[in-house]
Amino acid sequence: MAVLQLQRHGARFPTLGASLNIVSAVGKLQRVNVYNHSAMEFLHSFDYLLGVNDLVPFGALQSFEAGAAVYERYSNLVDADHLPFVRASSGKRVVDSANNWTAGFSAASHHVYQPSLSVILSEEGNDTLENHMCPNGGSSDIQTAEWLAVYAPPITARLNSWAPGAHLTDVETHALISLCAFHTAASASSVTDAPLSPFCGLFTQTDFAAFDYAADLDKYYGTGYGSALGPVQGVGYTNELLARLTRTPVRDRTQTNRTLDSDPATFPLDRTVYADFSHDNTIVAIFGALGLLRQPRDLSTSKPDARRTWRTHAMVPFSGRMVVERMTCGDGKEYVRVLVNDALQSLEFCTPNAVGLCELPAFVESQSYARSNGGGDWEKCFSADAVQS
């Protein structure tokens, strides 16, 4: 048996762009002298102290606990000669998450096994754990802007009525909703000790549902199925995954690092546990390349489909993960099973009515998109007439 885990970094501070909008919005609210709603009163004494980009302590804990959970679930696969092989993209929060994961794995084994981060893939070069090498990939800016114009104005009007003269914009309203989560995560010391930020009290469940849908649109049209060149950005990792499952050399012509992937020291094929650390946009692209979590119809930018299967918060939350298991069953055949945040995937693209279990040869055969000439639609990432999202 072998286990291959792909994990997003843990909870972090807002990115620079989000931080700028948050600081602008908070500043506008704090310049108001008299509020018309008691939910705003905390702003008189609030200090915004969040950092930018890096992990928060709770995010570090998430990765530590994830490493411990892998040891507890798969300890029978590990011995002194078969320690987990760990890779990470070079972003600081990703590297820190990988190191926290190895610490958690080690602690769970009472430090009998002490895996280390073996390979850091530079985000400036060929890197299957970072989606940055498809110039024609496009973005979700159009779709998210259209939805913002639908859902945000009533919320913005309400906040501005509570804080006369603040003149918040819809973009700033969106940033303030995100601050509920960022401020809560930054203040949390554990899953059970995470007091809600007072910013959460400014919004309703309907507001949060609309904000949540904005994230669905962002990922779906960014690197998901709604982007013509979204899934191709996950092809390189998919071909690495197939190489590990079949214990054969990587066949790929996309964003793989050929030097590292051809060296057994930096891309071994004989390990029983692999752990890779990445970002949400890249993991979404990998889901698309694999054929996981398909959405039956494109997402609307005017009204959420309550029956949609594409739910970003369930797919790539902070520290979210995909686990691919290769196992030998009683019939002597090798099978593949895939879990996304512990939810068993049906793998209907592999075998109809597979119920989450697919024979290894059939799984490999199902990956025709990634295996096609070793690159799917990779050439379209650079062609002048490529169709973009």
Structure token pair of residue 148: 């913002």
| Percent of the chain whose pLDDT exceeds 70 | 98
Task: Give pLDDT, residue 384.
Answer: 81
**Confidence grade of residue 13 (pLDDT, cut at 50, 70, 90):** very high
Residue where a domain stops, chosen among 161, 193, 218: 218
The answer, yes or no, to whether residue 197 has pLDDT greater than 60, is yes
Q: How far apart are CA 277 and CA 90, in angstroms?
A: 9
Q: How far apart are CA 242 and CA 245, in angstroms?
A: 5
Task: Give pLDDT, residue 341.
Answer: 98
Q: pLDDT averaged over the chain? A: 95
Is residue 92 domain-shared with residue 129, that is, in the same domain? Answer: yes
> Is residue 350 included in any domain, yes or no?
yes
The answer, yes or no, to whether residue 244 has pLDDT greater than 80, is yes
Is residue 370 domain-shared with residue 308, that is, in the same domain? Answer: yes
> Is residue 13 included in any domain, yes or no?
no
Is residue 44 domain-shared with residue 147, that is, in the same domain? Answer: yes
Task: Give pLDDT, residue 354.
Answer: 65
According to the per-residue pLDDT averaged within each range, which of 108-117, 192-201, 376-385 is highest?
108-117
> Is residue 246 included in any domain, yes or no?
yes
Is residue 260 domain-shared with residue 246, that is, in the same domain? Answer: yes
CA distances from 302 to 144, 298, 389 (A): 10, 12, 17
The answer, yes or no, to whether residue 183 has pLDDT greater than 60, is yes
Q: How far apart are CA 68 and CA 80, in angstroms?
A: 17
Task: Give pLDDT, residue 386.
Answer: 57
> Is residue 389 included in any domain, yes or no?
no
Is residue 194 domain-shared with residue 82, that is, in the same domain? Answer: no
pTM of the model: 0.96
Tokens 């549902």 identify what position? 209
DSSP strands (E only) in 329-367: 334-340, 343-344, 358-359
CA distances from 350 to 9, 66, 295 (A): 29, 28, 17
Is residue 167 domain-shared with residue 197, that is, in the same domain? Answer: yes
Task: Give pLDDT, residue 373.
Answer: 76
Is residue 184 domain-shared with residue 303, that is, in the same domain? Answer: no
Question: Any bridge partners for residue 344, and if so which?
Answer: 339
- Taking alpha carbons only, the member of 116, 106, 95, 206 closest to residue 154 is 206
Could you tell me the sign of the dihedral formed by the alpha carbons of 172, 176, 91, 264, in that order? negative
DSSP 3-state of 22: helix
Q: How far apart are CA 369 and CA 375, in angstroms?
A: 8
> Is residue 306 included in any domain, yes or no?
yes
Query: Is there a contact between 239 and 209 (Cβ–Cβ < 8 Å)?
Result: no
Q: How far apart are CA 169 and CA 365, in angstroms?
A: 50
Residue where a domain stops, chosen among 218, 245, 273: 218
Of all helices (H) and strands (E), which one includes residue 92?
helix 92-108
Is residue 198 domain-shared with residue 62, that is, in the same domain? Answer: no
Task: Give pLDDT, residue 192.
Answer: 67
Total domain count, the chain: 2
> Is residue 156 included in any domain, yes or no?
yes
**Confidence grade of residue 315 (pLDDT, cut at 50, 70, 90):** very high
> Is residue 259 included in any domain, yes or no?
yes
Task: Give pLDDT, residue 389.
Answer: 45
Residue where a domain stops, chosen among 201, 218, 235: 218
Residue type, 172: E
Is residue 181 domain-shared with residue 233, that is, in the same domain? Answer: no
Is residue 344 domain-shared with residue 196, that is, in the same domain? Answer: no
Instruction: Provide the residue count of the chain.
Output: 389
110 is catalytic: no
Buried b (16+ CB within 10 A) or exposed e, 35-73: beeeebeebeeeeeebeeeebbebbbbbbbbbbbbbbee
> Is residue 386 included in any domain, yes or no?
no
Is residue 74 domain-shared with residue 109, that is, in the same domain? Answer: yes
Is residue 97 domain-shared with residue 39, that is, in the same domain? Answer: no
The answer, yes or no, to whether residue 191 has pLDDT greater than 90, is no
Tokens 């049906």 identify what position? 346
Distance, CA of 381 to chain centre = 22
Q: How far apart are CA 250 and CA 238, in angstroms?
A: 10
Parent domain of 31: 18-54+137-218
The 10s digit of each residue's pLDDT in 69-98 is 999 999 999 999 999 999 999 999 999 999
| Percent of the chain whose pLDDT exceeds 90 | 92
Residue 101's CATH number: 3.40.50.1240
- The average pLDDT across 28-41 equals 97
Query: Is there a contact between 220 and 288 (Cβ–Cβ < 8 Å)?
Result: no
- Name, in order, each residue with C-beta under 8 angstroms of 188's C-beta and a sequence gap of 6 or more: 56, 57, 58, 194, 195
Q: How far apart are CA 241 and CA 272, in angstroms?
A: 13
Give the active site residue among 9, 174, 183, 279: 9
DSSP 3-state of 67: helix
